[in-house]
Amino acid sequence: MLELSGEQVYWQPHMRAYRNRRLDLTEKEGILTICDIREDGMPSALSLQVIGIGKELAKTSGRSLFCVIMGGETAPAAESVLRYGVEKVFCAKGEQFRSYNPELFSKTIKNLCDKINLELILLGSDEIGMDLGPRIAFSMQSAVVTDCVGLRFETGGEIRCTKPIYGSNALAVYTAKEKPMVAVVRSGVGEAPAEENATGSIEDLALDAELESRIEIIERVKEDTGGVRLEEAGVVVSGGRGIGGKEGFESLNELASVFGGAVGASRPPCDAGWITSQNQVGITGKIVSPNLYFAIAISGSSQHLSGMADSKNIIAINKDPDAYIFKVAHYGVVDDWKTIMPAFVKNVKELIGN
Amino acid sequence: MQGELNIVVCMKQVPDPEGPSSSYEVDSDNKKVIPKGIPPVMSPFDENALEAAVKLKEKHGGKVTILSVGCNLSKPVLLKAVAVGADEILTIEDDSCDRESIDGFQTASHIAAAVAGMERVDLVITGRQAADTNAGIVGAGIAEFLNMPLVTLAQRIELTEGKLNIERVMPDGFEVVSTTLPAVITVSHEIGEIRYPKMSDIKLAKSKPHKTMKPSDLDANYLKSEVLDMTELKAPQIERDCVMIKGDNADETGALLAKRLREDKVI
């Protein structure tokens, strides 16, 4: 049991042959990934992507890969991440961690980070990561890069972190003057690693009894976006102003469901109330980079492009041949989407079915 | 909380983010983005923050101070913000506060120092992220340096019996959280668009107090040096050769598109 609040620390015998009571667990600097758990107790898809990035970086730089999990129940997720190659999983288990509380989570991680030698902390960029990442960095007076789309170690061992700025009109590469660097990684940048035989170990963190939060969570309200989370979807079918109304989004939903994907939108349909703002893709909404992105009746404002331009395959359907979206799309059709859709959906179903 | 609310709204001036891509010239040698022909504007989320602050002031009474850190800040942009319902302006201006030379960590420390120097502040509100760097870290820094609770991504703010009840955007909906004053809040666009100023308020804006300070006027105990170093800046290569699919009629186009995607192993 690892004592976070006090000095007395010991290791359970089966773990490693560390006899000293200090918590210098490795001579080499580590990479800590923060794993968010889903309702079913397993790691979120975004967290697995983050672990994938951490694993690659650890391998190429010879560093240790750690993971921290906070939740009401942590064992299933902890065992799962070990199979993805994590060397040590730290678990903070307790009712107070069942849902995200900013201060409890950030203080717990800060306490852990004070005890281990870290070069880099990685977490996924969603509404939780965007909140948590900067908190951790400031609590340690270290550097943070949010919406990170690339990470690498220089030959000298310095970490480099790439981030789009000015609405993706420029790409900046940053290095940290104060470590550990915290990188909040955009969804879709990493891939879940292949599963292997687990060789790492699980460490339950002794919790700081004095841990308090000035922020009380009163309630959680879920807004149904129709199944698959946008940031995690492999296929996103998005519509713009030209979709015309709620009914139009029904047909987009049909195409999305063929792929088990999610429906997105540019800002105008959300402002018009055709679809919830939870579905908005863009710099002021969700940033996604799925394998397949359909931009249907979307002209391609800079604000929308910033949220999807890194998708692996972009298919644009638009009546206007001069629409900016065709400059970033891989495949394009100039026509009224309503006339294209029936035959396209029918053919996709046949081809995928085969 | 007794009496009226003293609210500070942190606003960053940025090149208009609605400008076309061609208006951003990337100078890789000097690691700078040079805006071409686009005026500075208040960062849109900071406008949402101002609107949230003005609404709170209307309900509870008090004062809204606009706080802006930068170099050669545009006066008309500041006055526009005042006209919407702020009472005074405090700017921290200096060459060292130029957007290219200051990082979010430092900006947050400047703001914290300025707020610490004010008489009493109940709320610090800012946008979830600025439209230029899109980092979204300054709110967290202010809260940490001033040891105030922080709630990010607010879509609704209520103040009842001295406690804040805030709806916060979450991945699958929202959550309601409660915290005490003084606090730092970052807001998301869901909280509401900024109102249009009245003509009479635009005229009045010029007569509102405007105080300018330099970083050297601030309490040095709060000030930090930068923690991030930009090593490289490049223009992204996003223009692609789009494969255009066209059949003799819409049905054929739809079928051809599906086939092509299958051939290319995209689906």
Contact with chain A for residue B139, Cβ under 8 A: yes
Q: Which residues of A touch B20 (CB under 8 A)?
A: 302
Q: HSE, CB side, 13 Å, CA atoms: give it for residue B143.
A: 33
Residue of A308, A276, A268, A275 whose CA lies nearest to A292: A308
Closest-CA residue of A relative to B191 is A277
Of A143, A164, A283, the CB nearest to B228: A143
Which residues touch B210 (CB under 8 Å, ≥6 apart)?
B78, B88, B89, B90, B91
pLDDT tens digit sequence for A52-74: 999 999 999 999 999 999 999 99
In chain B, the DSSP E strands lie at: 5-10, 13-15, 24-27, 32-35, 40-42, 62-70, 88-93, 123-127, 150-160, 163-170, 173-180, 183-187, 210-213, 228-234, 243-244
The verdict on a CB contact (< 8 Å) between A331 and B26 is no
Element (H, E) at A236: strand A235-239
CA distances from A286 to A10, A203, A231, A271 (A): 43, 34, 7, 15
For testing the chain A interface, which of B221, B249, B267 should be mutated: the one with the most A CBs within 10 Å?
A: B267
Q: Indicate the DSSP class of residue A286.
A: B
pLDDT tens digit sequence for B121-171: 999 999 999 989 999 999 999 999 999 999 999 999 999 999 999 999 987
For testing the chain B interface, which of A99, A121, A214 should be mutated: the one with the most B CBs within 10 Å?
A: A214
Q: Residue A135: its pLDDT value, please?
A: 98
DSSP string, A2-44: EESSSS-----TTT----SSS----SS-EEEEEE-B-TTSSBP
Q: What's the gap in Å between the CA of A198 and the closest CA on chain B?
A: 30
Of A143, A170, A344, the CB nearest to B254: A344
| Mean pLDDT of the region B200-208 | 92
Asked whether residue A33 carries a pLDDT value surpassing 60, the answer given is yes
Q: Residue A309: its pLDDT value, please?
A: 87
Asked whether residue A27 carries a pLDDT value surpassing 70, the answer given is no
The verdict on a CB contact (< 8 Å) between A144 and B239 is no
Q: Which residues of A touch B165 (CB under 8 A)?
A: 218
Strand-pair category, B163-170 with B150-160: antiparallel
The verdict on a CB contact (< 8 Å) between A102 and B151 is yes
Proportion of chain B above pLDDT 90, given as a percent? 79
Complex ipTM, two decimals? Answer: 0.91
Q: Which residues of B touch A176 (CB under 8 A)?
A: 227-229
Q: Residue A18: its pLDDT value, please?
A: 35
Q: What's the gap in Å between the CA of A86 and the closest CA on chain B?
A: 26
pLDDT tens digit sequence for A181-217: 999 999 888 999 999 999 999 999 988 888 899 999 9
The verdict on a CB contact (< 8 Å) between A177 and B252 is no
**Cβ(A311)–Cβ(A292) below 8 Å:** yes
Overall residue count recorded for chain B in this entry: 267
pTM, to two decimals: 0.85
Quickly tell me which residue has 């005026």 as its tokens.
B39
Q: Residue A49: its pLDDT value, please?
A: 95
The verdict on a CB contact (< 8 Å) between B153 and A130 is yes
Contact with chain A for residue B158, Cβ under 8 A: no
Q: Supply the mean pLDDT for chain B.
A: 93
DSSP string, A170-203: EEEEEEESSSSEEEEEPTTSS-PPPP-----EEE
**Cβ(B109)–Cβ(B141) below 8 Å:** yes
